[in-house]
Structure 1
C-alpha cells in the first residue's frame, strides 16, 4: 500500500474556497435585504455563511465590497462557456430596443429583493472612494460600454444626430430612472420608462 501523500490537493481547496465564497455572497445579499445595509456586519455575514470573519476580511476590505460582489455574482452564468455575448438588443428599432431595456431596469429596481441591497450599495459608494472606484471599474464602465455600443450602432444607422455626445445621451436616457428610484420622487413604472425614451430621442434624433 503506497504511503499517503502529505502534499496539498489544490482542486479540493479551490472547490472549498468557491463554496465559501458563494456562501458569503449569498449571506451578504440576503441579510442586506432582510435587515438593511446599516445593520449589516461582517460578523453577521460570517455567521450566516458558516465561515470565520477572518475569511471574509482575507477576500474583501469592507461589507460594501462584499455586497458589490454579491450583486455582481447574480449575473454570473452557471457555465461561462455557454453564456451569450453581453450586449443590448439591436433589432434596428432604437426606440423599441431602449424601451425594452428600460422596462427591464424598472422591473429590477421595483423588485423588493433588490431594493434594499442596491440602496445599501449606493449608500456605501457615496462614502467610500475605493469602493466607488471598484464599482466604476467592474460594473458601471462595462455597462456604459454596452450602452455606448448600441448608441454608436444607432448613430451609424442615422437614427441619432451625428454630433450627439454619446456620454450625455446615456445620461439623458438612464439617469431619470435612477433618480426617481433613488429619491422616491414618483412612481417608477414601465410607462414612465417609455416616456423617458420618447422624450430623450426627440432631442437626440437628426
Structure 2
C-alpha cells in the first residue's frame, strides 16, 4: 500500500498568512482603515477569522505586519535585481560617495511611494494615523524607525570619514531630505521624481547659502 504523506502544516500556515497580508493591504486601499475589519480580511483571504485572531489581536497588528512584510519583499526583489546579497541590502550603500549613495536610496524610496501597490494602502494607513495617535506611534516604531536608523548609521559613517561635520546630529540631518519627500507625497504639492530626490540631497549636503 502507498504511504500517504501528511499535509505540511507549516506550508499551509504560510499560504494562509500570505493571503491574509494581501487581503489586508487590498482592503485598506479599497475601503480605508476605518472600514477594514478582521471579518473582511478573513473573507477576502478565504480563512476563518479565528485563524487571524490566533496570530494577531487586532487589525492594526495585521496591517502593520503586512506592511513590514511588503517592505521586506520589495527589498529582497531589489536585491535580487541588483545582484546584492539580501542581508547587505538592509544597510544603506557605502561606496565612499555619500551624495551618490543617498540619491540611489531616495530614488528607490520615490519609486516605492509611486507604486500603487504600496502607495494606496500606505496612504490610507497614514491618513488614519493623523486621527489615531496610537496607530501613528506604532507605524513610526514598526515601519519607519528601523529604516531611519539605517540612515543614521550611514550618516555617522560619513562623519567618521570627514564627509560630514562631526558635530551634527544624524537623526536630525536625515530629516532634511526625507521629510520633504514625505510632505510632498502626503499633500500632493508637486511631482515626486528622481530629479526631486537628487535636488534634496544636493541642497541638504551643500547648504543654501552662497559659498
Large movers: runs of 4+ above 4 Å: none
**Mapped partners of 1:127, 1:163: distance in 2:** 36
Q: Superposition RMSD on alpha carbons, in Å?
A: 2.5
State whether structure 2 residue 37 is matched by structure 1 residue 41: yes
1:12 to partner: Cα distance:
4.2
**Mapped partners of 1:145, 1:151: distance in 2:** 10
**TM-score when scaled to structure 2?**
0.80
Conservation of the 8 A alpha-carbon contact between 2:64 and 2:143: no
1:151 to partner: Cα distance:
0.4
Q: Which residue of 2 aligns with 1:23?
A: 19
Unaligned runs of 5+ in 1: 1-8
Q: Which residue of 1 aligns with 2:201?
A: 197
Of stretches 194-203 and 125-134 in structure 1, the one that deviates more from structure 2 is 125-134
**TM-score when scaled to structure 1?**
0.82
Between the two proteins, the alignment pairs up a number of residues equal to: 193
- After superposition, residues 10-89 of structure 1 pair within 5 angstroms as 12-74=8-70, 75-76=72-73, 83-85=86-88, 86-89=90-93
1:13-69 per-position Cα deviation (integer Å, ceiling 9, x unaligned): 433333221111111112233444344222221111111223223333333322211
1:149 to partner: Cα distance:
0.8
Unaligned runs of 5+ in 2: 1-5, 78-84
1:108 to partner: Cα distance:
0.8
Q: Which residue of 2 aligns with 1:159?
A: 163
Change in CA separation of 1:123 and 1:54 when aligned onto 2, cut-off 3 Å: farther
Change in CA separation of 1:126 and 1:13 when aligned onto 2, cut-off 3 Å: farther
Conservation of the 8 A alpha-carbon contact between 1:33 and 1:114: no
2:115 to 71, 91, 111: 111
**Mapped partners of 2:187, 2:126: distance in 1:** 12
